[in-house]
Amino acid sequence: MLIQKSENTKELVDNLNYAQKVERSLQLIEDAYREYGDNLVVANSLGKDSLAVWDLAKKVNKNISGFIVATRFFPQETLDFMEQELERFPELEVYRNEEPIPDQLYKKDPDHCCELLKIKPTRRAVEEMDVDCWVTGLRCTEGRTRTDYQEIEERDKGLVKLNPILLWKEREVWQYLALNNVKVNPLYAQGYRSLGCAPCSSITTADNERAGRWQGTSKCGGECGIHTRAIKIEKRLEEMVN
Ligand code: SF4
């Protein structure tokens, strides 16, 4: 798939209107699905951005599948919402890592906690679902850690990552979800703007959309690692050997 690097992401974020962005996102998914077919899979975090991407993907083709990485620390509201989503979309596969981990690892070493509970199951999903192209809800206006991405990337050799709503603003995500009657996690009604595991998600009034993630740690406003670490297993083995 053609990797685009020449376009100015910031200009596109500001200059494309809502309808143009939706059209562009649908086109990106359609082109990728034509190329990868069933090896294209949506990573659905159950957050608002993933839900928009999941809805867009289903508009492109109802057969597109997806996976959810769930952790033992999901809030009850998210677990309930996940069950409802699984009833609506039984084709969603759930991956989790249930191995024992040190008590309160999320406080002592959140990077390691995310590595075990989020990145490991993501790698397994990509491996077991035979994914050549994974589709995410990453957006470049979400916060300081998300400005340096492209709509189509190949950070892992042999694994394309499609970020079809990279250019959308937070308001445009909510616009899409409202206009398309997409159900969302009820925690958003309490004031959360970015959702993850219970111990690592807070309600804030900060401008940064992800400011409520990992508050009080060095990871505050940061990343769990699925967008920054190697996901394809072969790639990691190569790295260890070299
Ligand atoms: S978000 Fe927090 S609880 Fe969840 S895996 Fe990461 S560090 Fe652990």
**Secondary structure (DSSP) of 218-234:** TTTT---STTTS--SHH
Confidence label for 132 from pLDDT (cuts 50, 70 and 90): very high
Distance 186 CA to ligand 1 centre (A): 20
Contact (CB, 8 A) for 123 and 229: no
Query: How far is the C-alpha of 225 from the C-alpha of 67, rounded, in Å?
Result: 17
* Closest CA relative to residue 144, chosen from 221, 78, 230: 221
Tell me the percentage of the chain whose pLDDT exceeds 70: 93
Q: What angle do the packed helices 18-36 and 48-60 form, to 10 degrees?
A: 60
Burial-class residue 55 by CB neighbours within 10 Å (0-12, 13-18, 19+): middle
Count of alpha carbons within 13 Å of 84, Cβ hemisphere only? Answer: 13
The whole-number pLDDT of residue 224 equals: 76
Q: Is the pLDDT of residue 242 over 60?
A: no
**Cα dist from 100 to 117, 167, 195, whole Å:** 10, 39, 24
Pocket test for ligand 1, best of 71, 74, 122 (most atoms within 8 A of CB): 71
pLDDT tens digit string along 54-101?
999 999 999 999 999 999 999 999 999 999 999 999 999 999 999 999
Which residues have C-beta atoms less than 6 Å from ligand 1? Answer: 71, 73, 106, 110, 113-114, 117-118, 196-197, 199-200, 224
Mind listing the pLDDT tens digit for each residue in 209-239?
A: 888 887 877 777 777 777 878 888 764 555 5
The beta strand positions in 54-167, using DSSP E, are: 65-69, 92-95, 133-135, 152-156, 159-162
Which residue among 103, 113, 215 has the greatest number of ligand 1 atoms within 8 angstroms of its CB, and so is best to mutate? Answer: 113
224 is catalytic: yes
